[in-house]
Structure formats: C-alpha cells, structure tokens
Amino acid sequence: MERMKRIPEPMLEIADLSVRFAGKQVLESVNLDLYPGELVMAIGPSGSGKTTLLRAVNRLNEAYPHCNTRGQVRIRLADRWWDIYAPSTPLAELRLRVGMVFQHPNPLPFSIYKNVALPLRISLGMNPKETLLRVQRALEAVQLWSEVKDRLHDSALTLSGGQQQRLCLARVLALEPALLLLDEPTASLDFKATRHIEALFQTLKQRYPILAVTHNPGQMRRLADRVMVLQDGRCVAAMSRPEIEDPEHSRRVMEAFF
C-alpha cells in the first residue's frame, strides 16, 4: 500500500540545494521529494536550516540580504514542471501557488475579512462577490467562520493567537495553493490551540502536500508521514512512518542528533 501511494510523480523536487547568507553556509546539498497526500517534516535544533529550507521553496530567502541559492527546486503545477529558480518563472504567481504559514501569526493590521480578501482581490483580481464566497469557504475550512462571522470587519489583531494563526492559514487556503509550507506554525500557541491546528493539518494533508518544519518531537510523531533530520544545514537522517511510530527507533535518532 505504501508503495502504491508512491507511484504518482512527486509535487516538489529539491535536488542538491545549498543556501548561503553573506558567505555563511546555512543549507548544504539537501535533497527531498514531496508526494501528493503526504506531510513531510523537517526536524532539527534551532539554526539547523529548517526555515531556510522552506523559504527556498517559495524563494522568500531572497527577501533577506546577501542570499545565494544553488541547486534545483522544481514544482509540478497542472502537470507541468517549473524550475522555481529559472529567470522565466513568474515569482509572484509561484508564491501564490506555494502557501506559507509562519512561525508567528502574521495577520496584517486590517480587518479579519480584508486579511483574507486582499490577496484574492489584488493577486487574483477577483470581483467582490466571488471574493466573499471564497473568504467564507476558507474561514470554514479552518473552522473560524462560526467564531468570526458576526465581526468580519473587526481588526484581525483582536483575535486570539490561535485564531490569528487559523486566519493566516485561511488566507493561504483561500488562494488555493498547490502545496503548503508550515514553519513551526504552532510554536507560539498554547496547548489547546496547538491541538486544534494540528487536527486541521491532518485533514488538509489529504488535499495539499505539506512540507513542515518543527523542533518538537511530539508534534513530529503526531503529524509526520516522513521525517528528515537537519543538523547544521545537512540532512543527517530520515525516518518513514513505521520508524517514527517505533518509539525506540525515533528516540535513538533524536538522541543522536539533538
């Protein structure tokens, strides 16, 4: 069964990826394939290059100065392969298709509605009617609609941390991305909000391939289908689902590298 699932082509291919910031090596020769329907997690201590790995996929590393990326990252959109770093690849469009949720909830200081609607209107050029429908659907998908439907025009900053993070997830889902990048999305949330969001990811991975990073072994055990362990920018170990579920094995791996 495991084999059958792997037969489809991957959605994302990372080959020999190296990233440097101002001459300092942050990622070195990382390889990864991401298949439809799976959640792959990169785990590692702080400074191991996890976030840089995610940001290499939507070229967000370039928003920071002195970044140098080598290697290949390819994404399959509508049965066509795109080289993410090819000069001809439209950057804004690429980022629309690769949704990213950040470590800290980052709603813009607009209303709840506008946070989800603005990218739809600006980046996709949707009319107000379509936008309203799409916003509602996205907020329903993250189970936020019933909580905010009567105060859509309140500031997004009035929401709790967990709600803000679900709003940010809704903002990404509304754009109907091809895959999701999750950068420790529960790191700043309390226990209850964390479990709520984790349950969402369990359902979302049926629809979107997810590449996530975490430094939390518990979260890894709960969510990951596959794991890559990063240390000092290198992939030093990998685990499949049976290995993750084997407490003895995963403990040995974690102890070796943490």
Partner 1 sequence: MDGAKLMPHLLRAAALACTAAAGGILLVLIYLVLPLFTSGGWGSVIAWQWLPFQGRFGILPMVVGTLLIALGALAVATPLAVGVACFVQVLAPGRIKGICLALVHYMTSIPTVIYGFVSIFLLVPLIRQWFDRGTGFSLATATIVLSLLILPTIVLVLQATLRELDRSARVTCAALGFSRPAYIRHVLLPLCRRGLLAAVVLGFGRAVGDTLISLMLAGNAPMVPASPLDATRTLTAHIALVVATDSQSTFYHSVFAAGLILFLVMVLIQLILRRLGGTFTP
* Size of site (CB under 8 A) for partner 1: 24
Span near partner 1 by CB under 8 A; candidates 67-75, 128-136, 167-175, 196-204: 167-175
Give, as ranges, the residues between 44 and 103 that touch partner 1 (CB under 8 A): 58, 60, 63, 65, 92-96, 100, 102
- Asked if 23 interacts with partner 1 (CB under 8 A), we say no
Supply the minimum distance, in Å, between the C-beta of residue 100 and partner 1.
Answer: 5
- Asked if 213 interacts with partner 1 (CB under 8 A), we say no
Q: The tokens 């980052």 sit on which residue?
A: 106
Rounded Cα–Cα distance for residues 251 and 185 (Å): 23
Candidates 242, 178, 251; CA nearest to 209 is 178
Residue of 135, 175, 211, 239 interacting with partner 1 (CB under 8 A): 175
- Asked if 110 interacts with partner 1 (CB under 8 A), we say yes
Percent of the chain that is helix, strand, coil (3-state, to 5): 45, 25, 30
Q: What ranges in the chain are assigned the alpha helix state H?
A: 2-6, 50-57, 91-97, 112-123, 128-141, 145-148, 161-174, 191-207, 217-223, 241-245, 247-257
- Asked if 245 interacts with partner 1 (CB under 8 A), we say no
Q: DSSP letter at 111?
A: B
Supply the minimum distance, in Å, between the C-beta of residue 152 and partner 1.
Answer: 14
Rounded Cα–Cα distance for residues 181 and 203 (Å): 15
Contacts of 20 (CB under 8 A, 6+ apart): 26, 67, 68
Rounded Cα–Cα distance for residues 226 and 39 (Å): 7
- Asked if 10 interacts with partner 1 (CB under 8 A), we say no
Residue of 68, 106, 143, 250 interacting with partner 1 (CB under 8 A): 106
Span near partner 1 by CB under 8 A; candidates 8-16, 19-27, 109-117, 126-134: 109-117
Residues that bind partner 1 (CB under 8 A): 58, 60, 63, 65, 92-96, 100, 102, 106, 108-111, 118-119, 122-123, 155, 171-172, 175
